[in-house]
Every structure is written in structure tokens, then in C-alpha cells.
A and B are shown apart, each in its own frame.
Chain A
Amino acid sequence: METFELLAKGFAVALQEQNILACLIGVIGGVIIGALPGLGPSTGVAVLLPLTFGRDPTMAIIMLAGIYYGAMFGGAISSILINTPGDSASVMTCMDGNPLAQQGRAGAALGMSTLASFTGGTISVIIFTFLAPKLAEAVLWFGPPEYFALMVMGLSTVSGLTGKSPFKGMASMLVGLALSTVGVDLVTGKPRFCFGRPELFSGIEFITVALGLFGIAELVNLAAGESGQLKRTEVKLSFRNMLPNKEDWGHSWPHILRGTFLGFLIGMLPGAGATIASFISYSMAKQRSKRAELFGKGAIEGVAAPESANNAASVGAFVPLLALGVPGSATTAVLLGALMMFNLRPGPLIFQQAPEFVWGLIASMYVGNVMLVALMLLFIAAFVRVLDIPVHLLVASVFVLILAGSFSLNVGLFEVGITVAFGAIGYVMKRLEYPPAPLVLALVLGHMLENSFRQSLIMSRGDMSIFFTRPLSLILLAVAVAAVVIPAIRNYQRASASRST
């Protein structure tokens, strides 16, 4: 009952004029960013974050969250119409979405992806509404050792499971941790790795790094593509031809529901996220479908299953972010950084300390999902036009927006320099298959990790066994080790097998 009251208060916040506007801007921005190949939600949130400086925190986070789940909706547009996923979470939508477009059923594919996304998103928000506060209550008794172990687990799973090589993921994470140590040490007041630059005394802002790694690096990638203009399937889209028929619904609804629950669960796990959720959901749909032979050739349920899963996963990712204060993906890492910039500390206490913000955000997700389904069904033709923007225009305008955003952070050119440098580093990392998400996640969590570590050792008077004698801390650290060791062993076995053949 209490949850309903809090949710009602949340709706009172979410339905304020300024918050409705923020949500609308966020979801429209998200759909556009999601639709543009190469610009995923993490890039979108990082690039648009500077535009929220000085605004009301609730309004700002509602907008940024809108970009996140809006991008999940938008990703399907380019997958279906140009066979190029807007971001990795939409890869599986290409499999059947584009063949459907080739058969003249682009409207049905886009409509089904919209309705599946809406169903996945909305059911997930309902689960989130009841689950997140309970989880936050359950972890209220966590002490510094448990928090330290939880953060280590979050970082290890993201590093171990993201990318092809767990070694590269871990190295990326450790570089992020090393970067987080730059600045004046809060305990002793001693500058660390500042090279005499006063700009570095307060540390490296995560957003300057994220703008480079996710923003500029993706722009280089986009500009490096051979095509100057995206080639899309010509379609006539209207409200009527976007509504799936009875037969389409009959084939799709079980897969939408399964994808929703699967996506939500996977989204909550650090490192797994929307991409893996959509892959698994698609594979399960194919296995269980009565017409598996149609998959890859234009099965409508091949669009519904991954789309419901990736949207559900994007909502699921908010559970560990808000309830535990530990993000599990690149986008939620950027969102955590944004929350901290607004002096909001996610974690179990946020439900008590900032209920208006938390419940306002949750309520805005219901509002945002309704906005998205209405916008997509009514204005899809306008969103599709985004694909007609020439690449050079897109690259140039987003590039200067990134630089201006980086400057706005501390009103300094030094930050712009850091962003440009990390843009180049990020592109090289991308080509060498070093995942950037662990680096950003570690940079955001680094301070908290070090503080928990030091507090734990103060509690135990310097005795490291405190991390291994408390049961939950031990379990979390064991999971952290397993998250790195198991993928490494698998890689080794795969390499040995390929060498022997």
C-alpha cells in the first residue's frame, strides 16, 4: 500500500510541467540517437549531459533516463530500414526486421517493435516499482566491507563479461581505477599524479572522459565508414499500416512476455545488459517457435522478442543503480556520474533521503513509455527522416557539441583537451577490442571503492581478513573472481581448440 502512495507522489512530481517537458525532450532525443547507427544510449547520455548543468536534478535525470530507454525504441528503426543496428542492443532486430522491410512489411515490423518495446518497458517498470525499494531495504545493513566487495563484484563482472577478452576488460577497468586516483587524496591532502596542474587537483571528471570515449571515438568510427549517406528501404508509413494484425500478435505475444521477464533479469546483472538480453531472447524465441524455419527470413516474432528484452533490460539496469549504487552498464555508469554531479548519492538510502526524486523518476518511466508508443506510432515517418542526415553533417555538429559540453563542465579548455585525448584513445581501444565501459565505470566508482576499502581497514585496524571473514563480502568477492577466471579459462580452451585443429 505504501508503494502505491509513494508512486502517486512520484506521479505528482513526474507530471509537473517542466518534468513532462524534460521527459518528452529525453525520449525524442533518445529515439533520434538510437536510430542513428553508431550513436548508442551511452553516447547520447554523455553528449547531452552537459545541457542539464544547473537544472533541477530530478528534471535532468528524468531527461537522461528518457534518452536511455528512448534509444532502445529508436534502435529498431535503423535495424529494420537499413539493416544496420542503431546500437548493439538492436543487432538481433536486424535479423528479421530488415527481411520484413524487404517484403514490404516495414510498417508491421516497426509497429511490432514499438508495441513489444512498450510492453517490455512498462511491465519492467511495474516490477521495478515493487522490487527496487525492497532490495534497497535488504542492503541497508551493508557495511564498508560489503560495499567494497559489491563494487569489486560489479567492476569484475562488467570487465570480465564485456568484450571478447576478459584480460582487456580488466585492464580497461584498472586504467579507470588508476585515473580515479588522480587528484588530492582526501585523507592526507597530498596531490596524486597531478603533475603540478591545478586543474587535476579535484580529479579527472568522468564526463570529460566519457565524452571522449563514447562520443568522439564513435564519431571517428562513423566518419571512417565508407558510406557518406545511409541507404534506407523506401517505405510509406502511417498509423494504420504500423498496427500488427491478429496473426502477428498470435505469433508474438508469448515471446514478448518471455523476453520481458528475461530482459529484466539480465538487465539487473552487472555486465550483461540489453545486448545479451536481446541475443538470448531471440535465441529462445527461435527454439520455441512453431515456425523456426522462418527466423532470419522475416518472422515477426523475431522482431518482438529482442525488442521487448532490450527495453526490459534497460529498465532492469536501474535496479542495481538506484538500490545499490552500483551501475551495471556503460549508460548507467554515465547516469551514476550524473547523479553524483547533482549531489545525489544512489544506494539504499536514496529511497529515504530523496523519495521525491526516486519516485518521480520511476513515475516518469511510466509516462515516458506512453509518450514513446504514441510518438512512434504517430510520428514514425518523421523519425525515419533522421536516417537521411548526411554523415559529415552529423559528425561535425555532434563533434562541436561535445567540445562545447566538455568546456561547460568546469569552464576550462583543459577539459576540452582531455576529451579530445580520450577520443583518440577511445578509438584505438575500440579497434584493439578494449571495452570502454569498464574504464568509465571504474572512474565513477573509484573514489567510493577506495573510501570503502580504507574505512574497512580502519574498522579492522589494518587487518585485511575483514573482507574474507564476513560471509556476504566473501561471497561477493568469490563471484568477482569467478567473473574473470571463468571467461579467461573459456578463452584459453577456445584458443587451444582452434590451435589443435
Chain B
Amino acid sequence: MKRGTQISAVVLLLLAIYIMVTSIKKLGYKLNGLPGPGYAPFWIAVFLVIFALGILWEAKGLSGSSIFTPRALKMLAILTAAGVATIVLSLFLGLLTSLALIAGALIWLLGGSWKQAVITIIAVGICFNLLFQRLLMVTFPKGPLGF
């Protein structure tokens, strides 16, 4: 917890410094005596520095316990990878097919049976087609099979 909080505070500090530099150098702090496009981001970043330092100070009193269990890390990796895979796959297979396949893969990876995975693939394909494409008229990117 302690190290995680410290790292997060440093990330916030770096983000704040980047915003401050960009606000002043690229966006423009003032325009004709009034706030320019960089004015608000600059002051947001100044306050972010103050509170990030506060978090660093507060972190001194925290315990050194770990914030992630191995299972939590695994689940985070699985779901993040599934999201990225959906985007990549949809470029080749279309979004509907990708979502259905990813749903099936997730069922299997999270401990479901292959039967449940297959049923989910079919159900997601049909339900999402009806809900999004027919009812809500959302056009999903299509794959080589035309859906």
C-alpha cells in the first residue's frame, strides 16, 4: 500500500509538471489580459502538485502490505487483454464477432465450461445484433463474413 501510494503520487506529480509546462509553453497562459487556453490547466496542475505532495506525506504512515493479490492481478490482466484483443480482432473479424468470441473466451478463462462458452458466443452474437444493430441502429464494423 505504501509503495503503491508513493508511486501513484509521483505519477501525479509528473502529470502535473507536464500539464504546467504545456500550458505555459504551448497553449498560452493569458490572452489580451484574460485567461487563455492554458490558464485553467495550469492552475489545475498547481493544485495537483500540492495534493500529490500531500499524498506523499500521508503515505509515510501507511502499512507496507501489498494491494494486489495474485488472483486480482491475473483478473486485471485478463480483462485488460480482453479489451485490447476486442479492438484488434474487430479490425479483422468485425466488432460483433469479436465481442461474441471474447465473451466466450472470458467464460472459459474465468472458470466456466466450454459448453457455457459456446452458448455465450451464440447468445451474444444474436442478442447484440438484435439490440445494437437492429433496435439501436448502431453500425458495427463488419468482418469478412459480412457481419
- On A, residues with C-beta under 8 Å from B are 51, 53-54, 165, 167-168, 170-171, 174-175, 177-178, 181, 185, 187-188, 190, 192-193, 216, 219-221, 223-224, 226, 228, 390-393, 395-397, 399-400, 403-404, 407-408, 411, 413, 416-417, 419-420, 423-424, 427-428, 431-432, 434, 450, 453-454, 457-458, 461-462, 488, 491, 495, 498-499
Contact = CB atoms under 8 A, between A and B. Distances in A.
A285 to B, nearest CB: 34
B120 A403 contact: no
A148 B5 CA distance: 31
Contacts of A188: 28, 31, 36-37
Nearest to B78: A223
Nearest to B48: A174
A398 to B, nearest CB: 10
Nearest to A51: B136
23 contacts: A53-B136, A171-B12, A175-B48, A188-B36, A192-B38, A192-B41, A219-B79, A224-B76, A391-B110, A392-B107, A392-B111, A393-B116, A395-B106, A396-B107, A396-B120, A399-B82, A399-B106, A403-B99, A403-B102, A408-B132, A453-B35, A454-B34, A495-B58
Interface string B40-81: 110011011001101100100100000111011001101110
Contacts of A413: 87, 90-91, 95, 141
Contacts of B106: 392, 395-396, 399-400
Nearest to B46: A174
Contacts of A192: 27, 37-38, 41
A170 B137 CA distance: 40
A432 B11 CA distance: 13
The interface centre, meaning the residue of A175, A187, A224, A417 with most chain B CB atoms within 10 A of its CB, is: A224
A187 B12 CA distance: 28
A229 to B, nearest CB: 10
B19 interface: yes
A423 B110 contact: no
Given A219-B79, A399-B106, 16 more contacts: A171-B52, A188-B28, A220-B75, A223-B75, A390-B112, A393-B107, A396-B110, A396-B120, A399-B83, A404-B128, A407-B95, A408-B132, A408-B136, A423-B79, A495-B61, A499-B61
B108 to A, nearest CB: 9
Given A228-B111, A454-B34, A488 B54 contact: yes
Nearest to A420: B83
- 8 shortest A-B CB distances, which residue pairs? A420-B83, A392-B110, A167-B54, A396-B106, A224-B72, A185-B37, A431-B67, A223-B75
Given A423-B83, A427-B76, A454-B35, A397 B124 contact: yes
Nearest to B31: A188
A411 B136 CA distance: 12
A165 B60 CA distance: 13
A174 B95 CA distance: 34
Given A223-B75, A453-B35, A457-B34, A190 B47 contact: no
Given A226-B71, A408-B132, A408-B138, A175 B12 contact: yes
Contacts of B91: 413
Contacts of A165: 55, 58
B8 A434 contact: yes
B2 to A, nearest CB: 11
B103 A400 contact: yes
A187 B76 CA distance: 40
Interface of B: 1, 4-5, 8, 12, 15, 19, 22, 27-28, 31, 33-38, 40-41, 44-45, 47-48, 51-52, 54-55, 58, 61, 67-69, 71-72, 75-76, 78-80, 82-84, 86-87, 90-91, 95, 99-100, 102-104, 106-107, 110-112, 116, 120, 124, 128, 131-132, 136-141
Given A224-B71, A431-B4, A170 B51 contact: yes
Contacts of A458: 34
Contacts of B68: 431
B140 A407 contact: yes
A420 B86 CA distance: 10
Nearest to A408: B138
Contacts of B5: 432
A190 B37 contact: yes
A221 B33 CA distance: 49
Contacts of B103: 396-397, 399-400
A423 B82 CA distance: 12
Nearest to A55: B136
A220 B79 contact: yes
A11 B12 CA distance: 49
B40 to A, nearest CB: 5
Given A175-B12, A408-B138, A419 B120 contact: no
A214 B138 CA distance: 23
Nearest to B37: A185
A432 B101 CA distance: 32
Nearest to B56: A167
Given A175-B48, A450-B40, A453-B40, A419 B83 contact: yes
Contacts of A488: 54
Nearest to B61: A495
Contacts of B37: 185, 187-188, 190, 192
Given A181-B40, A224-B69, A400-B124, A54 B137 contact: yes
